Structure 1
Amino acid sequence: MPPSHPVPHDKAADGAPPCRDEPSWTGGATRLRVRSETGDGPSPVLRLLLDGELDVDTAAALREDLTVLAARSTVPSLVLDLSGVTFCDLASLYTLLGICRTLPLVGIEVRLVEPSAAVRTAARRAGLATDLNLDRGGEEPPPVALP
């Protein structure tokens, strides 16, 4: 079944040059807006900036769209920037957890970065901050120095 709204276009998949701040799609009656950026560098990265409400409806649309994106993407790394999320519920946290656990199975590394206060609060209340690696703002933990 095709997604209910446009899927973000992966510029790397068709050889076109990467485009910064390209509007991509909105979900859940425009309560969640997602913009994409394709990063240059040694390893291509697709960065999706989420802005708005992340709830049971918009998270389901995001999951469907990321499934389609993963099926046609050649980008090995996906970064979900959560800094613009103004509302986050339990269903959306489990959707993010599912995304983080399943996309690596098809060769796409996923990182959640810049969680907003709404995301951090919801994750802490649900006991999922560590599972989602949000206790350090989504960044990798510092390396442990060996004696």
Structure 2
Amino acid sequence: MKSLKKKRRIQIIAVAVVALTVSTGLIGYAMRDGINFFRAPAQVLAEPPSPNETFRIGGLVEEGSLQRGSGETVRFKVTDGAASIPVAFTGVLPDLFGEGEGMVGTGRYIDGTFVASDILAKHDETYMPKEVIEALKEQGVYQEADAAVPIN
């Protein structure tokens, strides 16, 4: 009788281990495209990612680089002060997108150009994404915005 209980316990533990392994594998498989790492332009140039890797890039839209074509494709450069990366985006840009403004894009780095599938821009005069601020601080080009003056 004891050996039957022992066998049953070992079977339950073995099934639990297999189920845990399978569920961990399925979660990892499901998340393979859902995790996007953030990189600054200098990091992209230092270690270019593979063309099939999706990641986020952020910085400031370089002054004088914004080119709107006759189609929906917009080209510009994103910079962190140390390096600039050309960006191509097909779609509708956010209303507050512009030169000298902070942005974060999601996409792939293909043949020296970041091909963006999604572009995010700051949502008011003082906001800049946390990752962009950190990257600009590392380069020593970030300047704090002036404090808001209260209206009496």
Above 0.5 in TM-score?
Answer: no
- Work out which of the two has the higher radius of gyration on C-alpha atoms and give 1 or 2: 2
Normalising by the smaller structure, the TM-score range is under 0.3
TM-score by length of 1: 0.23
TM-score using structure 2 length: 0.23
